[in-house]
Structure 1
Amino acid sequence: MLHLLADLLTIGIGIAISPLAIVAVILMATSGKGRTNGTAFVLGCYAFAVVFVGLCVLLGRSTGTEDTGSDANLTVDIVEIVLGVVLLVLAVLQWRNRNHTGTPKWMSAVDGLSIWQAFLAGVLISGPLSPKDLPLLIAAGGRVSQSRLPAQEIMIVILIFAFIGVLGVLIPWLISVISPSKVEARLSGVRDWLVANHAVIMMILFVILGAKLISSGIADLAY
């Protein structure tokens, strides 16, 4: 189990470094909604990761991905390589748009979200609307499905992996809970920096993670 978690660590950290998701939590925290909407947002991110990766694992295991050398196992490795190429293409597109510094329109609507809307925002930003996180979650699901661990250990791996993936939004949320009176002073600078440098951060992540998926997939195929 530890070997599988170590294999997933880079992917989990890549998911955790999600500037827009972190900015969303900071906006909720600095508007005084860190304890309610911030909590719902973090739970939305976590719940989506657990459910989505779990479904990917169930789908993979139903086709026999845990059998080394099987067609399904090889398909997972090929899909991983394709996802890595997709991330590299996104890196190029992100680089071309690096000078775009406009503030996303959704940021102005964060203050008015209800608790359920904040939960849904966490679900959407952590996967369906994230060009970075969705490929990584698919790759993680494929990796876990190839493991021969028993079901209970696989569930533990998924829960821990999802926790690693929400560390980026969990830290500002904790600050808003522990020290709500100092949230603005501590997080406003981070928020502004992330918004200003979002394109460059994402481009670097796309390159690193794309190379990681491609190399892992090729290594498995060669093995």
Structure 2
Amino acid sequence: MLVVLADLLTIGVAIAISPLTIVAVILMATSGKGRTNGTAFILGCYLFAVVFVGVLVLLGRSSGTDEPDSGSHLLVDVVEIILGLGLLALAVLQWRNRASTDPPKWMAHIDGLTIGKAFLIGVLISGPLSPKDLPLLVAAGGRISQASLPVEEIVAVVLIFGVIGVAAAAVPWLISVVSPGKVEQRLTGMRVWLVSNHSVIMTVLFVILGVKLVASGVMDLAG
């Protein structure tokens, strides 16, 4: 199990390093809603990742992806290569748009979010509306489904992977819970920096992850 988690660590950390997700939690925290909306938002991110990856693993294992010589196993490797190439293409697009530092329009309405809407945005931003996270979750699901582990360990891997994916966003949430009086002072500088450098951060992540996925898929096919 530890070997599988180590293999997934890069993907999990890359999902965690999502500037806009972290900024959203910071905005909730600095508006005084970190304990409520921030909690709902992070739960939305976590639950989507766990359920989505879990379903992919279930589908993959039912089709025999945990058997090294199966066609399904090879298909996962091919999909991983395609996803890696897609991330490299996104890196080029992100770099071309690096001059834009404006946050998404929905962030301007974060102060007025209800708990339900905060949860829904967490679900959407953690995959369906994320050009980075969705392919990474697909790759993670494929990787886990290929592992020859008992069911209980597979479940543990999926749950731990989900925790890794929300770890960075949980930091400003934790500050809002532990030290609500100092949230503005501690998080404002981080928010400004993340928004200003969003494109560069995403470009670097896209390149690193694209190369990793392509290399992993090619090595599996060759081995």
Counterpart amino acid of residue 164 in structure 2 = I
Match of residue 50 from structure 2: 50
Alignment of 1:1-223 (within 5 A): 1-223=1-223
Counterpart amino acid of residue 45 in structure 1 = C
Counterpart amino acid of residue 4 in structure 1 = V
Counterpart amino acid of residue 194 in structure 2 = L
Q: Deviations over 1:158-190 (max 9, x none)?
A: 000010000011111000000000000000000
Give the unaligned 5+ runs of structure 1.
none
CA deviation after TM superposition for structure 1 residue 102, in Å: 2.1
For normalisation by structure 1, the TM-score amounts to 0.99
Distance 2:111 2:152 in 1: 40
Q: Deviations over 1:76-115 (max 9, x none)?
A: 0000000000000000000110011223211111111100
Question: For this pair of structures, how many residues does the alignment match?
Answer: 223
The 3-state SS of whatever aligns with 1:166 is: helix
CA deviation after TM superposition for structure 1 residue 148, in Å: 1.2
Distance 2:164 2:104 in 1: 26
Distance 1:215 1:147 in 2: 18
Distance 1:50 1:100 in 2: 32
Distance 1:103 1:128 in 2: 18
Distance 1:176 1:4 in 2: 33
Distance 1:90 1:75 in 2: 23
Counterpart amino acid of residue 13 in structure 1 = V
Q: CA RMSD in A?
A: 0.6
Counterpart amino acid of residue 26 in structure 1 = I
Q: Which runs of 4+ in 1 moved over 4 A?
A: none
Q: Deviations over 1:110-148 (max 9, x none)?
A: 111100110111100011000000000000000000011
Q: Deviations over 1:43-64 (max 9, x none)?
A: 0111011000000101111211
Give the unaligned 5+ runs of structure 2.
none
Q: Percent identity?
A: 70
Counterpart amino acid of residue 166 in structure 1 = V
Distance 2:101 2:159 in 1: 36
Distance 1:149 1:103 in 2: 42
